[in-house]
Amino acid sequence: MVRFALMMLLALSVVNVATAQDRNAQKGQQTAEEAKEKAAKAEAEREALRAQMKAEKEALQKERKEQSSKLKAKSKKKDDNGDNGDNR
């Protein structure tokens, strides 16, 4: 009877350990999936920020180019009129 009780206790302990390991494995898998999702979200945010920064950079370059063109046109117009800007 004592042997039977010890065998039952041992069997229950083995089952308990096995289920605990399974739970830990599932928890670890969930944690890994959450980490992957978090990394994917962070990557998407970085890509969105890169796209926004690229658009802003292109807009600034376009604005500078337009200003440069205006200044060149103004300078050319003064040269064509013979006006060097010293007429006061």
State the 10-residue block means of pLDDT for the chain, 88 residues long. Answer: 82 82 81 92 96 97 95 82 57
What pLDDT is attached to residue 87?
A: 52
- The domain tally of the chain equals 1
Containing domain of residue 59, as a range?
A: 40-75
- The answer to whether residue 20 is domain-embedded is no
Taking the C-alpha atoms of residue 51 and residue 87, their distance in angstroms, rounded to an integer, is 49
Domain-located, residue 5: no
Give, for 14, the enclosing helix (H) or strand (E): helix 2-81
Alpha carbons within 13 angstroms on the beta-carbon side of residue 2 total 0
Query: Looking at residue 86, what is its pLDDT?
Result: 53
Cα(33)–Cα(46) distance, integer angstroms: 20
Full-model pTM: 0.51
Please give the C-alpha separations between residue 21 and each of 2, 17, 65, 79, in angstroms, as whole numbers: 28, 6, 65, 85
